[in-house]
A and B are shown apart, each in its own frame.
Chain A
Amino acid sequence: MKAEKVDLLQGTLDLIVLKLLQAGPANGWDLTQAIQATSGGALSVNYGTLYPALHRLEARGWVVAKWGTTDHNRRARFYSLTPGGRRRLAAEQETWERFSRALGLILRPA
C-alpha cells in the first residue's frame, strides 16, 4: 500500500466530478478510473461515495443521467453536465483557486 495517499477534502469530490464531466459524458466506473489516473493514484477516493455524489449533483440539476451502452456493450448510466452544471463548475473552480492561492500565501513564509 502506498503511503502517500491523501484523503479528499470535504466538498471537493463534487468539484472533481464536475471537472471530469466537462470532457464529456461518463459513467460511474469511468469516473473512478479517471480520478485514479489523472491524480496519479494519489487521491484516496472511496469509490462508493462517488455514487451518492452523482445523485446529489443530479438532484440539484447540475448533471443529467441517461442509460446507455459502454464500449464493452454493458448497460450503464451516463452522466453529463447541464448548462447549470457548467456554471457551477466555473464558480467552484474559481472559489477553489482563490482558496488554494490564499492557503499558498499563508504556508509559503514558513
Chain B
Amino acid sequence: MSSLAALRVRLRSLFRRSTVERELDEELRDHLERETERLVAGGMDPGDAREAARRRFGNVEYLKEESRDARGVRVLENALRDIGAGLRLTRKQPGFAAVVVLSLALGLGATTAVFNVTYNVLFATLAVPHPERLTSLRRTHGGDTNDRFSWNELRALRETPGIGVLSAVRTASQIPLGVGPVREYVNMHFVDGAFFSMLGLRPLHGRFISPDDDTARATVVVLAEWMAARLFPGDSSVLGRTVNIRGVPFSVIGVAPRAYRGLEYPGQFTAAIPLSTVPLLAGVGDRPDDRGLPLALVPRSDAPAYKIAGRLAVDRRAAAAALGVVFARCCAVGPAAGDRLQLIDIRRGIPGGKDDFRDQVGMVLEILLAGMGLVLVVVCGNIAGLLLVRGASRQREIAVRLSLGASRGRILRQLVWESLPLAVVGGLLGLFVALWATAGLIHSIPEWGAYLDALRFRAAPPVFLFTGSVTLLCGFAFALYPALRATRGNLAPTLRLDARVSRDRGQGAAARGIVVAQVALTVVLVTAASLLAVTLRNLARVDGGFATEHVLLLSLDARGTSYEVQGVAPLGAPILERLRALPGVRTAALASMMPLFGGSIGSVELDVPGIAEQAGRRPSVRFDAVAPGYFATLGIPLQSGRDFTTADAARSEPVVIVSAAFARHYFGGRETLGRSFAATLRGDSLTAVRIVGIAADAKYENLRSEPEALIYVPLTQTSENWSSLQIGLRVAGEATDAAPAVARAVEAAAPSLRIRRVSDVRTLLATATAMERLAARLAGFASGMALALSMMGLYGVVAYGVARRTRELGIRVALGAHAPAIVWLVVRDLVLCVGVGAAIGLPLAFATGGAIRSQLFGVTAHDPRVAGLAVLLLVVVALLAGALPARRAVRIDPRIALSAE
C-alpha cells in the first residue's frame, strides 16, 4: 500500500463505479485534502500531513464498506455487481459453467417433473374457492361405509342450524348425450339447485343450475368446456343450444370452467342437469339397479340414493358434532340403528373412488421425489467441489482483498452471488427439462391418460415456488461452503507464494469429504435403482396364468343403447358366430370379466360343507360368468374336469369350475372334482352347484396379487342379463391387427352396440407394470447421473492431487520410483474416498431398501447381488476416474516438473 492513489486504483478495479460511489469517493477525498491542508497550515511537512490525515481518518476501504452498508440499497447494488462478475467469470470458464448448468438443469428438471406430478396427484386441491370448507357425508356401520342417503335423511340433516349448505348429488355413468349424429356416453351429474352456489364456482359462460330450475323441473344442462367444444365444434355460443340426453332435449344454460373437474378424485366433469329432471329420463328399461343405470329414477323418499356434499360455515369438528346429533335422532334409527355420520375432508376431491390411484402411486411418487432430492444433493456437492477448486485458485485475490479491509461478509456474499447466475440459468433450463420430462412421466402411465389435463405441467404457483426455492437453495448450498472455506483462516500464508501447501491440504480434505458424501449417496441411489429394476424384471417374468400373445379383448356395453333392456347376453351367440367366421380368428369367447382387463365384477356368498361362517357372514368369492371356450381362448389351463358346454344351459344342472386356489382353500387338497357347494348365484338364495372342473390360477387384478379363490359359472346359468360383457379372441397374427375386422363383425351382428374398450393382453401386461417401469427408469436415471457426477468428483480429487504434487512426484521419479508406486501414491485418495463412501453408503442403502420394501417384488434390500452390483459399478467408475490422472502422474518428466515454479 504505497499510496492512496494506488489503493484507489485497486478499488476501482474491484468495484465498478457508479455515481453514488463517485460521490462517496469525492466526499472522503475532500475530507482528507482539507485535513491535510489544515495540518500543513499548522506547519507540518505536506507528506507527513497527508500521512497523518489518513491515519486520523482510519481504514478507507472499511469505511466505504460501512457507508455502503449504511445506504441500505447496498445489498442489491453489490448483488447486481457480483452477479455481473459471476457472468464474466462464467465466460472465462465455459467448461465449468457447462457442467454446473447442465447438471443443475437435469437435476432440477427431473426433480421438478416428479414434484409436479406428485403435487398434481397427491396435493392439488379442487379448483373452487376455499376447498377446505367442502365436505361430503358418509355413514359408517361397524367397518362398512356408505355415502348414500335418502331424501328424508337429507331433508332432516339440512335443517341443522348454522352448519352451512348441504347439497344433494347423484351421478350416473354411460348416459347417452348427443347433438344430431354425435353421441357420447358420459358421466352425468344430477344436482339440486344449491350445488353450484355451494361450490362457489363462477360459470365460464351463461349461468349455473339454480334452485328455481330444480323446482321447475327445467330441462337445462350445464356443460363442461371440453364437452361443449366437442358437441359444438367451432361454435363459440353454445348457450341456448339443445342437446339430447337419453332422448330428452335439454337446453344449454351454462358452461363450467375447465379447472372444475367434479368432486370425485380423479374426476372428469362432463355435464350436470337438475336433480328434479331425473324422472323425465326414466325410460322403459328402468330397473331398480344400484349401479346408476338405468336410472332407478324417482327413488322412494326413504331409499338411499343421494350423495351429500356441502360447504361448511363452521369448522369440521363442530359441524360433525351438530350433524351427528341430528343424524342420531332422524336417521340412525330402525334398521340403520348404530349408523354413525362422518364428514369427509374433500379439499383434494372425494377420496376412495374406484379410479382413485393415489394410494397406489403415492408411495412410489414419494420414493421418486426423495430419489430426485438425493440427486440434487449430489449435483450440489459436485458443484461445491468444483467451486472449492476454483476458490483455491482465487485464494490470493481473496486474501488481498481481505487484507485491504473488505469484510469477510462482503466477500462471502460476493462469492455466493457470483454463483447465482449459474443456479438461475440451471433452474430456468431445468423448467424446460421438467416440461419435457413431465410429459414423459404422465404418458408412461397409461391409466393417467384420462387425466392428462390435470397432470400436465402447469405453471401452478406451488410448482414454480418449488423450483424457484430449490434452485436458490441449491445456488446457496453449493456456493456457501466453498465461500466459507475460501474466506477462512489466516491470510499471511496465502499471501506468501511459497506456502500454498498447508492451505491446499485443507481444501483437499474438504473436497474429499464432499466426494465421500457423493459416493455414499450414489451407493444408495444405485442400490435402490437395481432393486426397482430387479422388481420390474421379476414382474415381467411372472406367469399370470393366461396366454400373453395373440389375444384380443373387447368390452361390449349395452347401456344407453337400444339393447339396454335385453342386455348383452342374448347378443352373445350371434356375435361369437360372426367372429369365429373371421379369417385368422381361432377361438372366441365371452365372459363377464377377464384377467387384467376387468369388466363386470360380481361376487357370491358361499356355503361350503365344512367351512364355518365367519363373524356371522358367509364367505364370499368373486365369480366370472363365462361362455364355453373361454379357458382355451384365454389360455388358462384346466387342471382337471371339463370346460362348460352348450349343454350347460339355463335349466340344466348348475355347474361351476373353480380356480386351483379355491380348491386348495375350501377343499384343502382333497378330491374337489364332482363335489357340491351352495352359492348365491341367483338372487340372495343359495343354489347348489356341482364342481365340474378345476382351472389353473390366473391373476385377475394385477401381477403381484396372490392366486385368488374364484369360481367360474356358465353365462347361461346366471340370472343377470349383463349390461356389459367382454369378448376374448385368440387370433393367428398380431392381436391388435384383428381389431378393425372384429369391430366391423360386432357392428354387423348388433348395429348400435357399443364397443367401449379394445386391448390385447400384451398391452395390458405393459400397463400393469407401468408404474414399476416408471420407477425403475427414473431411479436408473438418478443413479446414472449420480454415478457420472461421482466420477467427476473422484476425477477431480485425483487430478487435483497430481497437479498439487507434481514437484514431489517428479523428485520421486527422478530418484527411481517405479510406476506402481507412483500410481498408488496418486490413487490412494481415490481408494480412500470410494472405500469410506461405500462403507457409509451400504448401510444407508440397506435402510432405504427396507423403507421401499412394499414396492419390491421378489427381491430384498439385503440381496448380496444388488449390493455387489453397486460396489462393482463404483469400482468401474473409480477406475475410469483414476486412469487419466494416474497416467499423467506416471508420465511426469522430472526435468520439467522440477524446473516448474
Contacts and interface: CB of A to CB of B under 8 A. Distances in A.
Interface string A45-61: 01111011111101100
Given A46-B58, A47-B58, A29 B69 contact: no
Given A32-B31, A75-B26, A77-B27, A47 B56 contact: yes
A52 to B, nearest CB: 3
B58 A58 contact: no
Interface of B: 23-24, 26-28, 30-31, 34-35, 56-60, 62-63, 66-67, 69-72
A48 B27 contact: no
B305 to A, nearest CB: 70
A2 interface: no
Given A51-B63, A52-B70, 19 more contacts: A28-B31, A29-B35, A32-B31, A47-B35, A47-B56, A47-B57, A48-B60, A49-B63, A51-B27, A51-B28, A51-B66, A52-B63, A52-B66, A52-B69, A53-B70, A55-B66, A55-B70, A59-B71, A74-B30
A29 B34 contact: yes
B31 A52 contact: no
Nearest to B37: A72
Given A55-B71, A59-B71, A49 B66 contact: yes
A29 B31 contact: yes
A77 B399 CA distance: 34
Nearest to B53: A47
Given A29-B31, A74-B30, A48 B59 contact: yes
A51 B64 CA distance: 9
Question: Which secondary structure characterizes the binding site on chain B?
Answer: helix
15 contacts: A29-B34, A46-B56, A47-B57, A48-B58, A49-B58, A49-B66, A51-B31, A52-B67, A52-B70, A55-B71, A58-B70, A58-B71, A59-B70, A75-B30, A77-B27
Interface string A22-35: 00000111001000
Contacts of B62: 48
Contact of B67 (A27, A55, A74): A55
A70 B23 CA distance: 16
Contacts of B57: 46-48
Nearest to A67: B23
A52 B71 CA distance: 9
Contacts of B31: 28-29, 32, 47, 51
A33 to B, nearest CB: 8
Contacts of B34: 29, 74
Interface of A: 27-29, 32, 46-49, 51-56, 58-59, 74-77
B297 to A, nearest CB: 74
Q: Most chain-B Cβ atoms within 10 A of its Cβ — which of A28, A29, A75?
A: A29
B35 A59 contact: no
Nearest to A44: B56
A75 B56 CA distance: 22
A58 B24 CA distance: 13
Contacts of A49: 58, 63, 66
A29 B30 CA distance: 8
A55 B59 CA distance: 17
A51 B57 CA distance: 10
B228 to A, nearest CB: 58
A83 to B, nearest CB: 20
A28 B27 contact: yes
Contacts of A77: 23, 27
Instruction: List the 3 closest A-B pairs by CB distance, nearest first.
Output: A48-B58, A52-B66, A55-B70
Contacts of A27: 30
Contacts of B56: 46-47
Nearest to A56: B70
B56 to A, nearest CB: 6
A52 B30 CA distance: 15
A22 B218 CA distance: 81
A56 B34 CA distance: 23
Contacts of A76: 27, 30
Nearest to B69: A52
A23 B58 CA distance: 27
A74 B63 CA distance: 23
Q: Most chain-A Cβ atoms within 10 A of its Cβ — which of B26, B27, B30, B60?
A: B27
A55 B63 CA distance: 11
A45 to B, nearest CB: 9
A1 to B, nearest CB: 12
A28 B67 CA distance: 13
Contacts of B35: 29, 32, 47
Contacts of B66: 49, 51-52, 55
Contacts of B30: 27-29, 74-76
A59 B69 CA distance: 10
Contacts of A74: 30, 34
A23 B482 CA distance: 51
Contacts of A55: 66-67, 70-71
A78 to B, nearest CB: 11
Contacts of B70: 52-56, 58-59
B427 to A, nearest CB: 32
Nearest to B65: A52
Contacts of A52: 63, 66-67, 69-70
A51 B67 contact: yes
Q: Most chain-B Cβ atoms within 10 A of its Cβ — which of A47, A56, A58?
A: A47
Nearest to A74: B30
A87 B59 CA distance: 32
A46 to B, nearest CB: 5
A18 to B, nearest CB: 15
Nearest to B60: A48
A76 B29 CA distance: 10
A55 B71 CA distance: 6
A89 to B, nearest CB: 18
Contacts of B23: 77
A10 to B, nearest CB: 15
A29 B28 CA distance: 9
Contacts of A48: 28, 57-60, 62-63
B703 to A, nearest CB: 69
A56 B72 CA distance: 8
Contacts of A56: 70
A75 B34 CA distance: 12
Q: Most chain-A Cβ atoms within 10 A of its Cβ — which of B31, B56, B62, B66?
A: B31
A32 B53 CA distance: 12
A77 B34 CA distance: 14
A49 B66 CA distance: 8
Nearest to B23: A77
Q: Most chain-A Cβ atoms within 10 A of its Cβ — which of B24, B26, B34?
A: B34
A13 to B, nearest CB: 12
B405 to A, nearest CB: 11
A29 B32 CA distance: 9
A27 B71 CA distance: 18
Contacts of A54: 70
A54 B67 CA distance: 8
A28 B29 CA distance: 11
B31 to A, nearest CB: 5
Nearest to B30: A76
A32 B60 CA distance: 16
A47 B62 CA distance: 13
Nearest to B26: A75
